[in-house]
Amino acid sequence: MESLMDVAGPLGLLVLALVDSTSMGTLVIPVILLVVGEGGARRVAGRTLLFLAVIGLFYLLLGIALLAGLLPLIESFGHLLASPPVMVVLAVIGVLLVVYSFRIDPKAVAKRGGDPEASARKWTRRARHASGRPAVLIGLALTAGLIEAASMIPYLAAMGIIVESGVGLAGGIPILAVYCAVMIVPGAVLCGIRAVLGDRADSFLDRAHEWAVKNATSAFSWAVGIIGVIIALNTIGPALTWLTGGGA
């Protein structure tokens, strides 16, 4: 199986980081905080930057922990990834990810009678409650990070790319730090716009909020589908060869 690093490379990491930058925690909630915050543009921007810094640090520490745990496993059992049974399992996972990406697409959710923006509205209420209180904002950032960690498929794919690059933990931490920085850059840029333009940025931030709410789930579904396709394309061939007895 060709490694994820060979297939995706540094550009793949950048794309995954940009996808993660449109998540609920890294973009939707920060924009809400910039829109509903009170106490002056610079204070609002500063509090939102605090939120972004906390969630960025959370993902960095989580990523370091994942790398520290994955690297010894890869060193001990990495050779098993090329075994035919594992290829079959990975091929199935890839196909399931592609299927899952279609199910979580906002249009598909709406067709099933669901509300693709329900989660965004829930987080909007939480952000309004936390706005203006730094201690509550820190708690909100950690809560968002913990909840989103349960569906962090792009982030896990990025961890896989870093692990397979062979740079080790010492080399992986700087890469991970850059990845997490990219995740919060769009939100930080919006903070700068709020600080510089003040109330004049209201209409722009309102549009940014609407865009983020509508596109966060869509971007995530596309990322999941692409990851699934990459895994499937690199494992289905060897898996089928083994299942049909061609590798005997």
Close Cβ partners of 132 (under 8 Å, ≥ 6 residues apart): 37, 38, 39, 47
pLDDT of 1 over the 50 cut: no
| Cβ atoms of 30 and 48 closer than 8 Å | yes
| Cβ atoms of 163 and 74 closer than 8 Å | yes
Q: What is the pLDDT of residues 134-162, one digit of tens each?
A: 888 888 888 888 887 767 778 888 888 88
Phi–psi pair at 114, nearest 5 degrees: -85, 175
Single pTM value for the model: 0.79
Domain ranges within the chain, ordered by starting residue:
7-82+115-214
Rg, Å, the chain Cα set: 20
Q: What is the pLDDT of residues 42-96, one digit of tens each?
A: 888 999 999 999 999 999 999 999 888 877 877 676 666 678 888 888 889 989 9
Close Cβ partners of 13 (under 8 Å, ≥ 6 residues apart): 158, 161, 162, 175, 179
Residues 198-218 have a mean pLDDT of: 80
Query: Three-class SS of residue 133?
Result: coil
Residues 183-187 have a mean pLDDT of: 93
Q: What is the pLDDT of residues 215-232, one digit of tens each?
A: 767 777 887 888 888 788
